Chains A and B, each alone.
Chain A
Amino acid sequence: MKNLALLILTVFILGACSNSSNKQGGEKAGTSKVTLTAAGATFPMPYYNMVFKNYTSEFGTLLTYGGIGSGGGIRSLTDKVVDFGATDAYLSDAKLAEMPAEVVHIPTVLGAVVIAYNLPGVDGLKLSNELLEKIFMGEITNWNDAAIKANNEGLALPDMEITFVHRSDGSGTTYIFSDYMTKISTKWADAVGTGKSLQWPVGMGAKGNPGVAGTISQTEGAIGYIGSEYAFAQKIQTALVQNSAGNYIEPSIASVSAAAKGEIPADTRIMLTNSADPESYPISGFTWIILYKEQNYDGRAKDQALATVTFLDWLVSADAQGQAEKVHYAPLPDAAAEKAKAILRSVTFDGQPLLK
């Protein structure tokens, strides 16, 4: 028994020693090697995973990213347990006021929501705003409906029930999709609205992009919305969507990027859905990184703050943006990247800008 007690004591002491030595080591190493922690949206995860790893191997700064969802990213930043958070929906004015300090948004990349469907032999389905409203509100229930036929001359539309598959989990993908629907349809705006999860008029839910994509591919006559990064990688059958100029646009890296060509506010908080650009795919959007404008909080070291903004400055540079297409995201247009850089230059430590 004595031996056991001694053993336990030894373990405790050793544990305490290694703890304290870790702390000392951490502070010392802070000058040479910084670890940045981030968490948030799952939508940009494939892109972040790739560029974060590349940055670490190139510049030595260690980066970890937890894909816990946009809501989790905002919570983590509020609790100050991460260096920066990530979100697919920008913080509303009310939400910004709730945060413990001023928060800035950095757009990092563009993505889109595609309308995927499963109709063997029917390629290039064109969906007008009116059709989208009627299908997703449950007013059109069969693929051979006259309204769909009139809009898609030459396509052999079968006599088949339409099954709408939506997300069952809360998601930034749903937010962008419903934001677009709210803009193009007053009926949708009144009955459903915009949100990360909704009260759906029709359809069934599946979990995550893989769940929705899997259900659609297994179900003839199904239609649903999927994050473009997933749909492009899986080469899923997608519909052409009518944009605000009246053109039917196929979702692609170029047409998604075009959505951000218009005027962007200085704080970059804008939903790009239903963009005015005639070449743009209308269900596109930014994803953002959020961080505190004043980086000296909670006793953060200046090195830590500097490493954070240096990394983010790299993330919006051509170097990182050039890698976006590899994982099926659209890079920021130059104007948007310039705005992001300007915001990063407004981030301070003790009131002094960190970047020049």
Chain B
Amino acid sequence: MELGKLPEKQFSQLLKVHQMNSDKITKGVLLLSSFVILFVAGGMIFSLVEGAIPALKSFGLSFIWSNNWNPTEGKENYGALPFIAGTIITSVAALLISLPLSFSVSLFLGEYYRGTRIAKILGTMVDLLAGIPSIVYGLWGFYVLRPLLIDLGLPNQGFGIFTASIILAIMIIPYATSLSNEIITMVPNELKEAAYSLGATRSEVIFNVVVPSARSGIIAGYILSFGRALGETMAVTMLIGNANIVPDGFFSTGNTMASVIANQFGEADGLKLSSLIAIGLLLFLITGIINAIGKYIIKRMG
């Protein structure tokens, strides 16, 4: 039966039914996909916890602050402190190194040279940095940065916490920059004009109007990049020296949580495998806590 020949009442009814159906189906599909995500995330947490239980049972909470990592059969003992320390130190250092750079670049792009050709080129370059695979950063660090640091007299043949932090800093610059830049661009012109009309200089406008109103977005950008630094694996593995010890200085060799998992997972079994999974769980928790702190800061400032 053709629709056109239907009585109007019937037609609108049919249309209504059809709309209701498509509404329901859309809703159902959306609900299902949300549940899939929930299920996957829940399943990951569950399997991490399940896998970590043997290690946590054998070592208890001291797993977190024990610095003895000995995989030799018969003397097996695992502690996560060397890796937790390595991860936190490299990430914080990377954040501190990248902070002045990415902050200036985002101001340059979003305020001083906003909309100009040079800003566009620079913006593209920064985005390009985000697209470079981490193994390429690792190679560059290994073949270019490390020899440079050896010439500067760095100990341990240029490997260690410091080298890894520099590479991490370069890797996280685009994350912090592009988010802060976007937020800075979004600061309403009226606000800035009002400040100018009161006789404020450009730098006064930037530091008293633009930065405060973009504050939460800028901080969100740094938290995002910190999270990225925590989980970075390949480039760090290639430069940190992979010594499973608590670093005794900024130029010492060390290891990070993500790096030790990537390195040792292949041949691990039994208690060692469980300890690696427990490190994964801890990394997951640390990242979660950092994110929560970030959200809290943004909420309070927003």
State the CA gap A71–B269 with chains docked (Å): 7
A71 and B267 contact, CB distance less than 8 A: yes
Q: Which residues of A contact B22 (CB under 8 A)?
A: 1
- B264 located at the interface, meaning its Cβ lies under 8 Å from any Cβ of chain A in the complex: yes
Q: Which residues of A contact B262 (CB under 8 A)?
A: 207
Q: Of A151-159, A166-174, A254-262, which binds chain B? A: A166-174
- Digit string of A179-201 for contact with B (CB within 8 Å is 1, else 0)? 00000000000001111111110
State the CA gap A211–B159 with chains docked (Å): 13
B267 and A204 contact, CB distance less than 8 A: no
B73 and A170 contact, CB distance less than 8 A: no
Q: Which residues of B contact A200 (CB under 8 A)?
A: 243-244
State the CA gap A68–B265 with chains docked (Å): 10
State the CA gap A205–B236 with chains docked (Å): 12
Assuming the A-B contacts A169-B263, A195-B72, A204-B242, are A218 and B21 also in contact, with contact meaning beta carbons closer than 8 angstroms in the complex? no
- Residue A1 contacts which of B21, B70, B266 (CB distance < 8 angstroms)? B21
Distance in Å: Cβ of A330 to nearest Cβ of chain B = 23
- Residue B71 contacts which of A72, A195, A222 (CB distance < 8 angstroms)? A195
- A49 located at the interface, meaning its Cβ lies under 8 Å from any Cβ of chain B in the complex: no
B266 and A72 contact, CB distance less than 8 A: yes
- A44 located at the interface, meaning its Cβ lies under 8 Å from any Cβ of chain B in the complex: no
Distance in Å: Cβ of B272 to nearest Cβ of chain A = 8
Distance in Å: Cβ of A201 to nearest Cβ of chain B = 11
State the CA gap A70–B266 with chains docked (Å): 9
- B62 located at the interface, meaning its Cβ lies under 8 Å from any Cβ of chain A in the complex: no
Q: Which residues of B contact A80 (CB under 8 A)?
A: none
- B207 located at the interface, meaning its Cβ lies under 8 Å from any Cβ of chain A in the complex: no
Q: Which residues of A contact B12 (CB under 8 A)?
A: none
B266 and A170 contact, CB distance less than 8 A: yes
Closest B residue to A222 by beta carbon equals B157
Assuming the A-B contacts A192-B72, A199-B72, are A169 and B264 also in contact, with contact meaning beta carbons closer than 8 angstroms in the complex? yes
State the CA gap A192–B71 with chains docked (Å): 10
A205 and B263 contact, CB distance less than 8 A: yes
State the CA gap A68–B71 with chains docked (Å): 19
Closest A residue to B18 by beta carbon equals A1
State the CA gap A200–B242 with chains docked (Å): 11
- Digit string of B238-278 for contact with A (CB within 8 Å is 1, else 0)? 10011110000000010100000011101111000000000
State the CA gap A50–B153 with chains docked (Å): 45
- A69 located at the interface, meaning its Cβ lies under 8 Å from any Cβ of chain B in the complex: yes
Q: Which residues of A contact B244 (CB under 8 A)?
A: 199-200, 205
A169 and B267 contact, CB distance less than 8 A: yes
A205 and B267 contact, CB distance less than 8 A: no
A207 and B263 contact, CB distance less than 8 A: yes
B242 and A193 contact, CB distance less than 8 A: no
A170 and B70 contact, CB distance less than 8 A: no
Closest A residue to B241 by beta carbon equals A204
Distance in Å: Cβ of A202 to nearest Cβ of chain B = 9
Q: Which residues of A contact B159 (CB under 8 A)?
A: 204
Q: Which residues of B contact A321 (CB under 8 A)?
A: none
State the CA gap A69–B68 with chains docked (Å): 25
State the CA gap A193–B267 with chains docked (Å): 17
- Residue A193 contacts which of B72, B238, B255 (CB distance < 8 angstroms)? B72
Distance in Å: Cβ of B94 to nearest Cβ of chain A = 20
- B237 located at the interface, meaning its Cβ lies under 8 Å from any Cβ of chain A in the complex: yes
- A60 located at the interface, meaning its Cβ lies under 8 Å from any Cβ of chain B in the complex: no
- Digit string of A1-38 for contact with B (CB within 8 Å is 1, else 0)? 10000000000000000000000000000000000000
Q: Which residues of A contact B143 (CB under 8 A)?
A: 218
Distance in Å: Cβ of A266 to nearest Cβ of chain B = 25
State the CA gap A309–B22 with chains docked (Å): 59
- Residue A214 contacts which of B73, B74, B142 (CB distance < 8 angstroms)? B142
Which residues 56-114 of B sit at the A interface, judged by CB distance below 8 A? 68-75
Distance in Å: Cβ of A98 to nearest Cβ of chain B = 10
- A46 located at the interface, meaning its Cβ lies under 8 Å from any Cβ of chain B in the complex: no
- A302 located at the interface, meaning its Cβ lies under 8 Å from any Cβ of chain B in the complex: no
Q: Which residues of B contact A68 (CB under 8 A)?
A: 266
State the CA gap A192–B159 with chains docked (Å): 23
Distance in Å: Cβ of B58 to nearest Cβ of chain A = 17
- B186 located at the interface, meaning its Cβ lies under 8 Å from any Cβ of chain A in the complex: no
B268 and A71 contact, CB distance less than 8 A: yes
Closest B residue to A202 by beta carbon equals B243
Closest A residue to B264 by beta carbon equals A170
Distance in Å: Cβ of A169 to nearest Cβ of chain B = 5
Q: Which residues of A contact B136 (CB under 8 A)?
A: none
- B208 located at the interface, meaning its Cβ lies under 8 Å from any Cβ of chain A in the complex: no
Pairs of residues from A and B, 7 with the lowest C-beta to C-beta distance, nearest first:
A170-B267, A205-B242, A168-B242, A204-B241, A69-B266, A199-B70, A193-B72
**Chain B residues within CB distance 8 Å of chain A:** 21-22, 25, 68-75, 142-143, 146-147, 156-157, 159, 237-238, 241-244, 253, 255, 262-264, 266-269
- Besides A170-B267, A196-B267, A206-B238, 20 more A-B contacts (Cβ < 8 Å) are A1-B25, A69-B267, A71-B266, A71-B267, A74-B269, A163-B157, A168-B263, A170-B264, A170-B266, A192-B72, A193-B74, A199-B70, A199-B75, A204-B159, A205-B242, A205-B255, A207-B262, A211-B238, A218-B146, A219-B157
8 A-B interface contacts by CB (under 8 A)? A75-B269, A168-B255, A170-B267, A171-B267, A198-B71, A199-B244, A200-B243, A218-B143
